[in-house]
Amino acid sequence: MKNAHPQLVVPNRRRVPKCWRGDLESVLIGRAELNRRTRELAKSIEADFSGRNLVVVALLTGTVLFLADLIRELRLPLHLDFIGVSSYGAGTRAGRLIFNKELRLDVRGRDVLIVDDILDTGRTLHAVIEKLRLLKPRRVKVCVLLEKRARRARNVRADYVGFLVPDLFVVGYGFDFAERYRNLPFIGVLRPEMLVPKSAGAN
Catalytic residues: 120
Contact partner at residue 20 from Mg ion, ligand IMP, none, CB < 5 to 8 Å by partner kind: none
Neighbours of 83 (CB within 10 A): 22
Q: Which stretch binds ligand IMP (CB under 6 A): 8-16, 73-81, 101-109, 120-128?
A: 120-128
Tell me: does residue 38 bind ligand IMP (CB under 6 A). no
Please, what is the end-to-end C-alpha distance for the chain in angstroms? 30
Tell me: does residue 203 bind Mg ion (CB under 5 A). yes
What's the closest the beta carbon of residue 142 comes to ligand IMP, in angstroms? 11
3-state secondary structure of 161: strand
Is the CB of 38 or the CB of 124 nearer to ligand IMP? 124
Among 23, 69, 111, 117, which residue sits at the site for Mg ion (rule: CB under 5 A)?
A: 117
What DSSP character marks residue 172?
B
Q: Which stretch binds ligand IMP (CB under 6 A): 1-9, 20-28, 117-125, 135-143?
A: 117-125
Residues 22, 181 contacting (CB under 8 angstroms): no
- Distance set, CA 43 to CA 34, 70, 97, 110, 112 (Å): 14, 10, 32, 20, 17
Residues 40, 181 contacting (CB under 8 angstroms): no
Residue type, 180: R
What's the closest the beta carbon of residue 94 comes to Mg ion, in angstroms? 9
Among 6, 11, 62, 162, which residue sits at the site for ligand IMP (rule: CB under 6 A)?
A: 62
Q: Which positions lie near ligand IMP, rule CB under 6 A?
A: 62, 87, 94, 116-124, 169-170, 175, 203
